[in-house]
């Protein structure tokens, strides 16, 4: 079996070269890990290194004689992975992290690159003073997930007085342009609080389907002693994360779903006998929630534009309550939707978005999106809403939701729709930023009437 560190390095190199999501590659590589501990470490290293990539590159640059952009991708990945272990994971000896990075680099890029990686990492180790004490030093202190900070001997980060967004972005691994947007909207205190939340490894949140949250929490205590009730009714949080709830999920007692996402489906106020459409349904958590809320009778139509994702939606049929019909359909990316006008009691448009409310989970997204992304996505989102409106019955409810924090994709899209469709109104919903227990997200209920 290949060690978790080598597997993580291989995965990160693939993502660097080909793009895409860590999650899509992780399942394939996890089978090569020796046991559950190695699988857990692989997951932690892959997600954590990408989540902290910006900060890791700042640290590596400070101790490198050459610009990182001039280095081979193998060397850059090796340094990121080793520095993540050194700076953020106390349980892994620094010597082990460095040795693995050097060995992996030697095998893929030769002894010269391995020697360079070794030198940078040894310099970085000598530059660490230890845990930060006393007042925060924003130029030398690297914040960590548990609220502590690691202090360097010399300043590494931009002067907060001259470049506040640059300082926060460098220390919390976030693109400067995105931090600038947040500072302009929220100010430094709330921006920093959100950045701290996005730095944290998310636990597993379960939506209770049967048996009650208290009973489920008690049954899971042997798996994770820190299990507790989640931040919304009917949710249970396993801070330990990976794998803890697999048994209750297999039994149909619970489904993995973030607490903020659990608040979306109830906004449609589903009632037994209704016909509901989830237009952008994959991977299916909200559509299944709609089926659970129908409980005894009705229909959920789960559609998406991707044929493989629709296949995944079809697999969820075995979890749907008896009496509720589950239909899946692939729809075209543009043009009229293949449904009769006014044929649905409720419609959910959980639109594709920039993912800026779920960056602790979608760790690649912060490096993929650009300053232009929110406006570009807003046009797509508005188009989806306009396609969906004719399908809603006169007294029906449409819920528009995203996992974005950007106003262009949220309030801006709703305002644009209401301006184009004066016979509609917006009411209720949610607008939340990420916390340690839940992702960020937005939703509005749309109905006919002035």
Burial of 7 (0-12, 13-18, 19+ CB in 10 A): buried
403 is catalytic: yes
The DSSP code for 293 is H
Strand, coil or helix: 26: helix
Question: Where are the alpha helices (H) located in 251-391, listed in sequence order?
Answer: 259-262, 285-294, 307-315, 365-368, 373-388
Q: Phi-psi bin for 187: left (phi > 0), alpha (psi -120 to 50), beta?
A: left
Residues 211 and 142: their CA atoms lie apart, in Å, by: 43
Cβ neighbours for 346, distance < 8 A, ≥ 6 positions apart: 268, 269, 270, 274, 276, 277, 290, 392, 396, 397, 398, 399
Strand, coil or helix: 397: strand
Contact 281, 352 (CB under 8 A): no
Strands 275-278 and 298-304 come out as parallel
Cβ neighbours for 381, distance < 8 A, ≥ 6 positions apart: 349, 351, 352, 353, 400, 402, 409, 413
Catalytic residue among 8, 403, 405, 445: 403
Strands 275-278 and 254-256 come out as unpaired
What is the residue-wise DSSP string for 224-285? -TT-EE-SSTTEEEETT-TTTTHHHHHTTSEEE--HHHHTTGGGG---TT-EEEETT-TT-H
Catalytic residue set: 403
């Amino acid at each position: 079996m290949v060690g978790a560190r080598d597997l993580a390095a291989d995965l990160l190199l693939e993502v660097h070269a080909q793009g895409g999501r860590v999650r899509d590659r992780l399942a394939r590589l996890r089978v090569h890990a020796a046991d559950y501990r190695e699988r857990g470490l692989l997951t932690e290293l892959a997600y954590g290194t990408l989540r902290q990539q910006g900060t890791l590159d700042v640290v590596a640059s400070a101790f490198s004689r050459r610009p990182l952009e001039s280095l081979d991708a193998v060397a850059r990945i090796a340094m990121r992975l080793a520095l993540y272990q050194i700076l953020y994971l106390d349980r892994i000896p620094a010597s082990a992290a460095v040795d693995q990075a050097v060995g992996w680099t030697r095998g893929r890029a030769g002894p010269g690159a391995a020697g360079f990686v070794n030198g940078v990492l040894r310099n970085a180790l000598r530059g660490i003073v230890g845990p930060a004490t006393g007042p925060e030093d924003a130029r030398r202190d690297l914040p960590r997930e548990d609220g502590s900070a690691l202090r360097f001997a010399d300043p590494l980060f931009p002067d907060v007085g001259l470049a506040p967004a640059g300082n926060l972005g460098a220390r919390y691994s976030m693109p400067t342009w995105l931090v600038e947007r947040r500072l302009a909207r929220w100010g430094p205190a709330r921006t920093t609080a959100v950045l701290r939340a996005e730095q944290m490894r998310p636990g597993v949140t379960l939506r209770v389907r049967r048996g009650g949250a208290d009973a489920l929490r008690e049954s899971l205590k042997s798996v994770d002693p820190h299990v507790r009730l989640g931040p919304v009714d009917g949710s249970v949080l396993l801070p330990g994360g990976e794998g803890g709830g697999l048994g209750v999920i297999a039994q149909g007692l619970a489904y993995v779903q973030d607490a903020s996402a659990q608040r979306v489906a109830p906004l449609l106020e589903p009632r037994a006998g209704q016909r509901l459409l989830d237009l952008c349904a994959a991977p299916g958590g909200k559509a299944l929630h709609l089926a659970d809320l129908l409980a005894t009778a009705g229909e959920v139509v789960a559609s998406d534009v991707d044929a493989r994702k629709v296949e995944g939606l079809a697999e969820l049929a075995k979890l749907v309550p008896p009496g509720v019909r589950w239909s899946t359909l692939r729809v075209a990316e543009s043009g009229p939707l293949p449904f009769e006008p006014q044929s649905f009691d409720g419609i959910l448009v959980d639109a594709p978005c920039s993912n800026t409310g779920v960056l602790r989970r979608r760790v690649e997204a912060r490096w993929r999106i650009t300053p232009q992304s929110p406006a570009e996505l807003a046009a797509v989102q508005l188009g989806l809403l306009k396609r969906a409106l004719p399908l809603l019955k006169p007294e029906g409810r449409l819920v528009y939701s995203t996992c974005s924090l950007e106003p262009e994709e949220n309030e801006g899209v709703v305002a644009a729709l209401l301006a184009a469709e004066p016979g509609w109104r917006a009411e209720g919903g949610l607008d939340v930023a990420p916390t340690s227990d839940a992702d960020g997200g937005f939703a509005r209920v749309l109905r006919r009437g002035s």
